[in-house]
Amino acid sequence: MTQRIESSGYLLSSVLSPEQELIDIRISNGVIAEIASAGSLTPGASVTIESAGMQLLPGLVDLHTHLREPGREDAETIRTGSAAAALGGFTAVHAMANTDPVADTAGVVEQVVRLGREAGYCDVYAVGAVTQGLEGLALAELGAMAHSMAQVRVFSDDGKCVSDSLVMRRALEYVKQFDGVIAQHAQDPRLTEMAQMNEGIISAKLGLTGWPAVAEEAIIARDVLLAEHVGARLHICHVSTSGSVEIIRWAKARGINVTAEVTPHHLLLTDSLAETYNPIYKVNPPLRTNEDVLALRTALADGTIDIVATDHAPHPRESKECEWSEAANGMLGLENALSVIQESMIENGLSNWKTIAERMSYAPARIGRVDASSGHGQIIKVGVPANVILIDTKIRRKVSEMKSASKSSNNPYIDRTLPGQVLYTFLRGEMIVANGELVRPL
Amino acid sequence: MSDVVTPVLKRHLLSIDDLTREQAILILDTADELARISDAPIKKLPTLRGRTVVNLFYEDSTRTRISFEAAAKRLSADVINFSAKGSSVSKGESLKDTALTLQAMGADAVILRHSASGAAHRLAEWTKGSVINAGDGTHEHPTQALLDAFTIRKHLNKNPEQNGGVGADLTGVNVAIVGDILHSRVARSNVLLLSRLGAKVTLVAPPTLLPVGVSDWPVSISYDFNNAIGECDVVMMLRLQLERMKSAFFPSAREYSRLFGLDMERLAKGKKSPLILHPGPINRGLEISAECADSADSLILEQVTNGVSIRMAVLYLLLGGADA
Amino acid sequence: MKAVLSSADISRAITRISHEIIEKNRGSEDIVLLGIPTRGIHLAERIGSEIGVIVGQSIPVGTLDITLHRDDLRSKPPRALTPTKIPSGGIDGKRIVLVDDVLYSGRTIRAALDALGEIGRPALVQLAVLVDRGHRELPIRADYVGKNLPTSHEEIVKVSIHEVDGEDQVQIAGSHE
């Protein structure tokens, strides 16, 4: 049945383009078949989507997702995680390498991509580990992963910092041969031993060991200089401090080939939430101060920070229902990312949907060197694969734990009211999400 | 009835932040009254008969546990000591499961000592009874601060007509808290309580042992103990854990002792012959010399005695009425 | 609200009780008055000074807080303690007169006897009350009564005394008022 509907295509009528023009758009045979001014296309054989006034965006691309498979299928699987991604409007995600076994060989990255394809909710790209076992000592087989079926272009030890300067330098140099990028988790390990939360007024009060901003900024400063020195591409994961923003701004002005990401939670939440001692708010890098949040928003708006990446980090309930210091770092991000961005960037007039399309689709696809034939990160025009989403930006809804495809529930936005909801997700013309629900339930 | 307590305490005592100035004074006044009873030949009151109090201790702290136990027993509560060592806890049972178990046993109050900051806050979410924080990591130790304030108030109001300072706060009292502020739950609770009661608090420590966010605290900071001791009415010495040396917080025990230890020579620089407090157990010769610890101005043993009265007061005020 | 004892009535009652205490104890030797908070404290002080005037020497007066011995603690939020003040001679071997405003169920006095037991061993214990309204739930009776006031359970007896309430008066009110 799905096949039959698909072959006849879909008509999205009177939707707002990223540039805020009211248009009709027809999806047929997996691609964008027609675009015309609103009201000018007739349904014909196409199924008409009740979409008047909805926001059309290119399918989102997440450069930073933890899908936990292989190894922690109790927290998330590629199937559940990619379904959550589709519900959040993502048509492509990059699965981080800190699985068990670590994604440091061609075998593991190929398995990740294959499982993503089998699930079919969105395209899953594998991030390869920089060093074997994420131990920061010896380079993983970067070339083998790049040349494998998985075609890995993004390498990261995320969760751990490539702290050894020499190893970092070599990695940056080595991946140049296949136009790869090192995505650095910037955290000086010595400065963050036993660290629990942002070091500042709140940590002093709560008696939780501080994670100082300088531990992030010092690594970023070192790495942009290394990238400049060896002429390589560097990507900074989850930038969290205003100081980091300043360094990246400086590096970009100097012409250094650096890109950076910010997570939705660092754009909305602050360290004062730790006062609850509820580890649902424990994340690495930690939630920072309001001043940092405002600097990150400005940087995302002006392009100093290139992209939004979710750092979706599912954890089983028992890893959060415990003492703060015993709890795992990380929070869910895929399903509510766009709502958080609307809340923190759009509603206050800091940014607009055209810019968000750049930050959440075009730019991440570019940084990840995602193959153009996939259609990810492409401007919506006739002939390109139809990876598009529709958002109802008018509604405000209370986030509920129940309505999630993720296997985990460590969602910091539960019971918070957020604007907007992704109602439709199309992956190469196939309707994956309709009316905010998976077309093929898990 | 006019005898109903007006500033009713919250259900839990997790932090000094749970107490208003009036509630703190009520606890001190109640302790003062209970202290008289503790002096009487019969040391048992029927007040908490039928109540069950659990001492849940994840860290060894014999003195705090015994103090709470004595307090609960003098009020006729049933006391269950649940030491994490050798129990199901050491076999990996989570704090939440332990909390649910204790609740199923009908615990009216759980007194928690735990190495993780915020553990008492977590426990309070999972249990119906009252939770009393008996020290959580490097966060707080509210009953220690209350007994310190009680000890100070009593000594600064010794004349019979001052009646031990009942009803009074600590306005105008200068207190220096000296040592490892960064890792001290005693310091955090005392800063909150003493300042709430009107005392002027000075923290004396090397910069490495002060938290980065200390600027927000209602205190003055001094790196110079000799200077700071001048105007002090009270010097509160904190226990120094020697393992801190390994993390480069200070160069050597000798240097620490020389700059931040209390000895008779330094004590003599105090213009008001300050009272000496220490939460114990003390490291003689490290943060405090034996002569100082044993001197007439030292209230270290009296703190222990007062601890029982304060804990009786807290237990009475949390459990001595209708179930919340 | 109906006034049942005026200020003058209360004064007379206190004077009479004072005389009765001296008479029954054949003097004031070894007598210690202990007032039960809140109003009993002030009644005890008044009786103490009256006896002082009659016998020409002051007699010891103290207060006895019974809160920690109450059997109804769980019915209300925790109550603040009132200081117990035992005169310097102590209570061992003394003739204790407990003083309270109203005698009703007798439970307060039961708690007072327990509280007294914590402190020492008197030679004997007597009870003086301004009003006895009946309805005893324990085998307790007063040795000295200002006024016997038959009441129903539903009625409320309100004792006002100058030191606490600004005036001396006893009133009675029906529950529906």
- Which residue among A196, A202, A277 places its CB closest to the CB of B213? A202
Q: Are residues B170 and B123 in the same domain?
A: no
**pLDDT interval class at C146 (50, 70, 90):** very high
* B324/C10: higher pLDDT: C10
**Residue B118 near residue B136, CB atoms below 8 Å:** yes
By the 10 Å C-beta count (0-12 exposed, 13-18 middle, 19+ buried), B197 is classed as buried
Tell me the one-letter amino acid at A134: L
pLDDT in tens, A196-226: 999 999 999 999 999 999 999 999 999 999 9
**Annotated catalytic residue within A123, A188, A271, A311:** A311
Chain B hits for C114, Cβ within 8 Å: 46
Q: Please determine, for residue A118, whether its predicted confidence score (pLDDT) is greater than 70.
A: yes
Chain A hits for B247, Cβ within 8 Å: 193
Query: Which residue from B minimizes the CA distance to A321?
Result: B96
CB contact under 8 A, B96 and A321: yes
- pLDDT recorded at residue A3: 45
List of domains in chain C: 8-70+82-150 (3.40.50.2020)
Number of domains in chain B: 2
- C117 touching B, CB under 8 A? yes
Quick count: other Cβ atoms within 10 Å of Cβ A6? 19
Handedness of CA A318, A323, A325, A326 (dihedral sign): negative
Helix, strand, or coil (residue C97): strand
Q: Is residue B205 part of a domain?
A: yes
**At least 3 CB pairs under 8 A between chains A and C:** no
Question: Which residue in the block uniquely carries the two structure tokens 């993983």?
Answer: A140
Q: Is residue B92 part of a domain?
A: yes
- The mean per-residue pLDDT over the stretch A426-430 comes to 97
A2-56+381-438 carries CATH number 2.30.40.10: yes
* C44/C1: higher pLDDT: C44
- The mean per-residue pLDDT over the stretch A118-133 comes to 98
Question: Which residue in the block uniquely carries the two structure tokens 């030292």?
Answer: B298
Of A273-282, A369-378, B247-256, C44-53, minimum mean pLDDT range: B247-256
- pLDDT recorded at residue B6: 56
* B91/A341: higher pLDDT: A341
**Residue B123 near residue B110, CB atoms below 8 Å:** yes
Q: Bridge-partner residues for B13, per DSSP?
A: B132
Interface test with A, best of B12, B97, B122 (most A CBs within 10 A): B122
* Subunits with 3+ C-beta pairs closer than 8 A to A: B
Query: Which residue from B minimizes the CA distance to A190?
Result: B247
Q: Are residues B25 and B158 in the same domain?
A: no
Distance of CA A274 to the CA centre of its chain: 24
Mean pLDDT of chain C: 94
- Which residue among C69, C78, C164 places its CB closest to the CB of B317? C78
Chain C hits for B2, Cβ within 8 Å: 38, 164
- Which residue among B119, B140, B214 places its CB closest to the CB of A204? B214
CB contact under 8 A, B46 and C82: no
E-state strands within chain B: 52-57, 78-83, 109-114, 130-136, 174-178, 200-204, 220-222, 234-237, 275-277
Q: Are residues B84 and B213 in the same domain?
A: no
CATH class, range A59-374: alpha beta
CB contact under 8 A, A207 and B185: yes
Of A156-165, C14-23, C70-79, minimum mean pLDDT range: C70-79
- The mean per-residue pLDDT over the stretch C82-86 comes to 91
**Residue A252 near residue A304, CB atoms below 8 Å:** yes
- The mean per-residue pLDDT over the stretch B37-66 comes to 87
Using alpha carbons, select from C143, C57, C138 the residue that is nearest to residue C95: C143
- pLDDT recorded at residue B88: 60
**pLDDT interval class at B90 (50, 70, 90):** low
Handedness of CA C161, C162, C166, C167 (dihedral sign): positive
Using alpha carbons, select from A390, A391, A397 the residue that is nearest to residue A419: A397
- Which residue among B117, B122, B125 places its CB closest to the CB of A206? B117
Domain boundaries, chain A: 2-56+381-438, 59-374
For residue B160, give the CATH number of its domain: 3.40.50.1370
Q: Are residues B119 and B174 in the same domain?
A: no
- pLDDT recorded at residue B60: 86
Q: Are residues B209 and B300 in the same domain?
A: yes
- Which residue among B5, B9, B323 places its CB closest to the CB of C79? B5
Q: Are residues B166 and B217 in the same domain?
A: yes
Q: Are residues B180 and B298 in the same domain?
A: yes
Chain B hits for C80, Cβ within 8 Å: 3-6, 26, 29-30
Q: Is residue B8 part of a domain?
A: no
- pLDDT recorded at residue A348: 97
Q: Please determine, for residue B324, whether its predicted confidence score (pLDDT) is greater than 70.
A: no
Q: What is the H or E stretch that residue A420 is in? A: strand A417-427
- pLDDT recorded at residue A335: 98
Distance of CA C41 to the CA centre of its chain: 7
Quick count: other Cβ atoms within 10 Å of Cβ A409? 16
For residue B173, CA distances in Å to A58, A287, A427, B211 come to 66, 38, 71, 24
List Cβ neighbours of B63 (8 Å cut-off, separation of 6 or more): B280, B281, B304, B307
Helix, strand, or coil (residue A262): strand
- pLDDT recorded at residue A228: 98
Has A223 been annotated as catalytic?
no
Q: Are residues B243 and B278 in the same domain?
A: yes
Q: Are residues B88 and B174 in the same domain?
A: no
pLDDT in tens, B231-264: 999 999 999 987 777 788 999 999 999 999 999 9
- The mean per-residue pLDDT over the stretch A42-68 comes to 95
Residue ranges making up the domain that contains B225: 142-304
Q: Please determine, for residue B322, whether its predicted confidence score (pLDDT) is greater than 90.
A: no
Handedness of CA A81, A82, A83, A88 (dihedral sign): positive
CB contact under 8 A, B320 and C79: yes
CB contact under 8 A, C68 and B316: yes
Interface test with B, best of A193, A199, A201, A277 (most B CBs within 10 A): A277
Q: Are residues B44 and B110 in the same domain?
A: yes
- Which residue among C73, C77, C82 places its CB closest to the CB of B47? C73
Q: Are residues B193 and B61 in the same domain?
A: no
Whether the upstream peptide bond of residue A70 has omega within 30° of 0, thus cis, is yes
Chain B hits for C161, Cβ within 8 Å: none
* C73/A341: higher pLDDT: A341
- The mean per-residue pLDDT over the stretch C13-22 comes to 97
pLDDT in tens, C39-69: 999 999 999 999 999 999 999 999 999 999 9
- The mean per-residue pLDDT over the stretch A75-100 comes to 98
**pLDDT interval class at C78 (50, 70, 90):** confident
- Nearest CA to CA, how far is B247 from chain A (Å)? 10
Q: Are residues B85 and B96 in the same domain?
A: yes
**pLDDT interval class at B85 (50, 70, 90):** low
- The mean per-residue pLDDT over the stretch B25-35 comes to 94
CB < 8 Å from C in window 45-104 of B: 45-47, 75
Percent of chain A with pLDDT over 70: 98
Q: Please determine, for residue A7, whether its predicted confidence score (pLDDT) is greater than 70.
A: no
Percent of chain C with pLDDT over 70: 98
Query: Which residue from A minimizes the CA distance to B211?
Result: A204
CB contact under 8 A, A204 and B138: no
